[in-house]
A = this chain, B = another copy of it.
C-alpha cells in the first residue's frame, strides 16, 4: 500500500470533484428524450451537497484497496438514492420545502408530477448502475451489493424511517423512538454506503465487516445528531435550506429530546466510538477516521 499523503481537505475535494464528473456522466444526457425529465433529474443531483455518502464509500474503499473506477459507480448509486429521497421529501405532501442546497426544490423549479417521476427514475437508475459493469469480487458479491442497497432504501430502511417520521410529527418522541427512526431514515443508507464501498475491493472477513458496520452506524447517527444541532443553531443563509424548520413543524430532534448540550456530547461520544471500531484496520482506516471527525466537527 502506498501512503496517501494528501491532507483530508484535498482528498475530500478530489473525491467530490470525481463524483461530480461521474454523476454528470452516469445520469442520462439532458438532451435525450424525455428531455424535461432528464433535465430535472440532473438538476436534482448535480452541483449539490457535501456528498457525504460517496465520501464514506471512498473512505471504506481505502480499507479494501478498491479501484476508484468501481467506487465512483457504487457511490453514485448510493448518492442517487439519497437525491431521490430529498426530491420526494421536499414535495408538498411531505415536508413542503421550497429550498434545497440554496436552489428551488425540484417541484418548485419544475412541477410536482415531474418531481415525483424524477425521484422514481433516480431510484431505478441507482439499481441499474449497480448492474451495468463488474463492481465486486464476483457476480455473487455484486448481487449482495444490490441487495444491501435495496434493503437500505425500502420500507425496512430509509422509506420506513420516513414513514416513522411522518407518523411521529407533532408528537414528543422518547429518545429510543427517535433513534429507531434515524437508524432507518438516514442511518441505513449511510451504512450501505460504507458496505458498498468496501465491497468494491477485496472481501472483508466477518469480524472486519462488523467493525466497519459499527463505525458506519455511529457515524450515521452522529451525522443526524449534528444535523439537529446545526438546524437549531444555524440561520437560513448558512445552511441553504429553511432553518429551524424542525422546531416550527414540531418534529422531534435530538435537541428537543435531550437539549443542545447533551446532543453535542452525544455526537462527540459517537465520534469516539467510530474511531474505536476501526482501530483494527490501522492505517487503512485513516480516511474513515478523518471523515468521522469531519462529520461531527463540521459547522454547516
Tell me the complex Cα distance, A68–B174, Å.
Answer: 47
Q: Which positions 162-192 of chain A face chain B at CB distance < 8 Å?
A: 162-164, 166-167
With beta carbons under 8 angstroms apart, the residue of B88, B119, B150 that contacts A128 is: B150
Contacts of A164 in B (CB 8 A): 33-34
- Report which residue of A114, A119, A124 has the largest number of chain B beta carbons within 10 angstroms of its beta carbon: A124
A109 within 8 A of partner (CB): no
Shortest distance from the beta carbon of A257 to any chain B beta carbon, whole Å: 19
Are A116 and B116 interface neighbours, CB within 8 A? Answer: yes
Stretch in A134-142, A272-280, A287-295 touching the partner: A134-142
Contacts of A131 in B (CB 8 A): 143-144, 146-147, 150
Are B34 and A121 interface neighbours, CB within 8 A? Answer: no
Are B127 and A146 interface neighbours, CB within 8 A? Answer: yes
Q: Which positions 10-69 of chain A face chain B at CB distance < 8 Å?
A: 28, 32-34, 36-38, 41
| 29 A-B residue pairings within 8 Å (CB atoms) | A33-B164, A34-B164, A34-B167, A36-B163, A41-B155, A84-B120, A85-B120, A93-B111, A94-B116, A114-B163, A117-B162, A119-B120, A120-B120, A120-B154, A120-B159, A121-B159, A123-B123, A123-B124, A124-B154, A124-B157, A124-B159, A125-B150, A128-B151, A128-B154, A131-B144, A131-B146, A139-B139, A143-B143, A146-B146
Majority SS of interface residues in chain A? helix
Count of identical protomers in the assembly: 2
Shortest distance from the beta carbon of A33 to any chain B beta carbon, whole Å: 7
Across the A-B interface, give the 4 residue pairs with the lowest CB-CB distance, nearest first: A124-B154, A93-B112, A139-B139, A128-B150
Are B163 and A37 interface neighbours, CB within 8 A? Answer: yes
Closest to A120 in B: B159
Contacts of A166 in B (CB 8 A): 113-114, 117
Closest to A132 in B: B147
A91 within 8 A of partner (CB): yes
- What residues make up the interface of A, taking CB atoms closer than 8 Å to B? 28, 32-34, 36-38, 41, 84-85, 88, 91, 93-94, 111-114, 116-117, 119-121, 123-125, 127-128, 130-132, 138-140, 142-144, 146-147, 149-151, 153-157, 159-160, 162-164, 166-167
With beta carbons under 8 angstroms apart, the residue of B32, B116, B157 that contacts A88 is: B116
Closest to A139 in B: B139
Shortest distance from the beta carbon of A112 to any chain B beta carbon, whole Å: 4
With beta carbons under 8 angstroms apart, the residue of B132, B139, B162 that contacts A142 is: B139
With beta carbons under 8 angstroms apart, the residue of B28, B128, B155 that contacts A34 is: B155
Tell me the complex Cα distance, A143–B167, Å.
Answer: 36
Are A156 and B36 interface neighbours, CB within 8 A? Answer: no
Closest to A123 in B: B123
Closest to A135 in B: B143
